[in-house]
């Protein structure tokens, strides 16, 4: 076995037993990156020097998470030269475990997108089919894990940005409960929705990495004062008596038949193991995308107001006065998708439109949350497809923003509500593309969704049966 193909848990055990030195794993991953990165283009910044100076298990980090002394660009021209003077809390926690940063990964600019085609620098490609997208916005991190160009990675999830690329790339992606993981040092997109989480090769790795990055943080007022649990200990695989809800709205028109059958086949496996399955309704699901695309752009328009060319980042070279400098800096520094969302958000917050759009969206968000709370009164988990389709071709949806936005139709609700959700691979399409299954759980009940995902992973055995042919 090549060392770069190790899982996080496997690497930890080999190092503890002194069978392998951390530097050997780092060098193996570096060799793998040199072998395939030019085809996939997953990294914005490689940090081989950092990883070899202080060797540890090599992890990749999405380039919207601040790293002291290392560029954090958010894949945007406006932050092309920004070097943070501090580490995000999750980076500090990784360093405490002696993990080594191998590089900063590509993303849709400011995490706004579902394909990693909105990066200001380049498009990342899916390791399973280089003509297809890896998903987004954490497409770089998912592609790195799938291609063994790191042992594990961190991403951020605002409306599915960990789970959807994990689905497209055939890896595991976990969005924790809002507040479970500190957002300090995560460059804000939509503050009430953003959450950092792991992208890994296995469910056990996701559980272990979540243990490391979780916890209350005094630097983040939205981090929750909840106990850091031993999530790996919950992975018993015992699911007899488990109550599973299948929301009919997630299995209706628009869902690819191959995706539907693959997910339902996995559910039948759980049912055969003694789980109880019942169809339910989440009646306000049809409004989730509309609600998300009012709330998220509104928060983004506020968060991105700080990028004005005055304090840091890109500044237009030629301008007549201060207002002209603001205008030209933001026009030249932001990409089309970011400008689109800033304008949408500013419009919905404007006087005369606030009540009609933003306030109404907040009310619908409450209704969506109440739908989920009612289901969790009777059920342990909700299982759905992660995405309505497998990975689509590069360029296929660039000119159709609405179709692109619908890529997140099954994932945005978990962010609007704040509950945990995990995506695992459950099969392949006839074209050989991974299909993702999503397990959603009640607030701070990551243990249950991880255990269900672990049981499915054991039965499906996806990683041993399938891999990208690079």
Residues belonging to the active site: 62, 137, 161
E strands along 327-396, which residues?
Answer: 381-385
Structure tokens given for 368: 């969506």
Q: What distance in Å separates the CA atoms of residue 37 and residue 306, rounded to the nearest whole number?
A: 33
Q: What distance in Å separates the CA atoms of residue 75 and residue 104, rounded to the nearest whole number?
A: 10
Q: Is residue 135 within 8 Å of 114, Cβ to Cβ? A: yes
- How is the beta sheet containing 421-428 ordered, strand by strand? 43-46, 100-105, 58-62, 152-157, 195-200, 172-175, 421-428, 434-441, 381-385, 243-247, 276-280
Q: Name the DSSP letter for residue 269.
A: H
| Contact partners, residue 320, CB within 8 Å, separation at least 6 | none
| Contact partners, residue 128, CB within 8 Å, separation at least 6 | 146, 169, 170, 391, 432, 433, 434, 468
Q: What distance in Å separates the CA atoms of residue 273 and residue 402, rounded to the nearest whole number?
A: 40
Q: What distance in Å separates the CA atoms of residue 42 and residue 35, rounded to the nearest whole number?
A: 13
In the chain, what is the greatest distance between 2 CA atoms, to the nearest angstrom? 71
3-class secondary-structure state, position 333: helix
Helix (H), strand (E) at residue 54: none
Q: What distance in Å separates the CA atoms of residue 147 and residue 333, rounded to the nearest whole number?
A: 31
Using alpha carbons only, give the angle 254, 259, 263 rounded to the nearest 5 degrees: 120
Strands 172-175 and 195-200: antiparallel
Q: Is residue 175 within 8 Å of 138, Cβ to Cβ? A: no
Q: What distance in Å separates the CA atoms of residue 432 and residue 132, rounded to the nearest whole number?
A: 12
């Amino acid at each position: 076995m090549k060392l770069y193909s190790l899982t996080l848990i496997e690497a930890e055990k080999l190092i503890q037993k002194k069978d392998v030195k951390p530097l050997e794993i780092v060098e193996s991953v570096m060799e793998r990156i040199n072998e395939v990165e030019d085809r996939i283009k997953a990294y914005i910044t490689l940090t081989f020097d950092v990883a070899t100076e202080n060797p540890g298990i090599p992890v990749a980090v999405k380039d919207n998470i601040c790293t002291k002394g290392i560029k954090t660009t958010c894949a945007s021209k406006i932050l092309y030269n920004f070097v943070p003077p501090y580490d995000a809390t999750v980076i500090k926690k990784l360093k405490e475990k002696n993990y080594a940063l191998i590089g900063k990964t590509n993303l849709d600019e400011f995490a706004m997108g579902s394909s990693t085609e909105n990066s200001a620098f380049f498009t990342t490609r899916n390791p399973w089919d280089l003509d297809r997208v890896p998903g987004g916005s954490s497409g770089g991190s998912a592609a790195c894990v799938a291609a063994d160009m790191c042992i594990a990675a961190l991403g951020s999830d605002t409306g599915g940005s960990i789970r959807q690329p994990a689905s497209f790339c055939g890896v595991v992606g976990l969005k924790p409960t809002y507040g479970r993981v500190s957002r300090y040092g995560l460059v804000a997109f939509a503050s009430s929705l953003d959450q950092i989480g792991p992208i890994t090769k296995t469910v056990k790795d996701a559980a272990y990495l979540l243990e490391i990055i979780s916890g209350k943080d005094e630097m983040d007022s939205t981090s929750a004062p909840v106990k850091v649990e031993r999530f790996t200990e919950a992975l018993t695989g015992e699911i007899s008596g488990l109550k599973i809800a299948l929301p009919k709205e997630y299995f209706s028109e628009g869902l690819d038949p191959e995706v539907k059958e693959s997910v339902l086949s996995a559910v039948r496996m759980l049912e055969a193991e003694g789980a109880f399955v019942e169809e339910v309704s989440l009646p306000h699901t049809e409004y989730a995308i509309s609600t998300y695309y009012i709330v998220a752009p509104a928060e983004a328009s506020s968060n991105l107001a700080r990028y004005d060319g005055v304090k840091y980042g890109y500044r237009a070279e030629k301008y007549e006065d201060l207002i002209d400098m603001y205008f030209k800096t933001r026009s030249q520094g932001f990409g089309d998708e970011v400008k689109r969302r800033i304008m949408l958000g500013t419009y919905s917050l404007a006087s005369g439109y606030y009540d009609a759009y933003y306030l109404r969206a907040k009310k619908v968000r409450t209704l969506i949350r109440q739908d989920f709370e009612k289901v969790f009164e009777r059920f342990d988990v909700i299982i759905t497809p992660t995405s309505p389709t497998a990975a689509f071709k590069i360029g296929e949806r660039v000119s159709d923003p609405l179709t692109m936005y619908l890529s997140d139709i099954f994932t945005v609700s978990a962010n609007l509500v704040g509950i945990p959700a995990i995506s695992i691979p459950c099969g392949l399409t006839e074209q050989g593309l991974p299909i993702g299954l999503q397990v959603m759980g009640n607030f701070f009940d990551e243990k249950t969704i991880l255990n269900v995902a672990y049981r499915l992973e054991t039965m499906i055995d996806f990683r041993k049966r399938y891999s990208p042919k690079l």
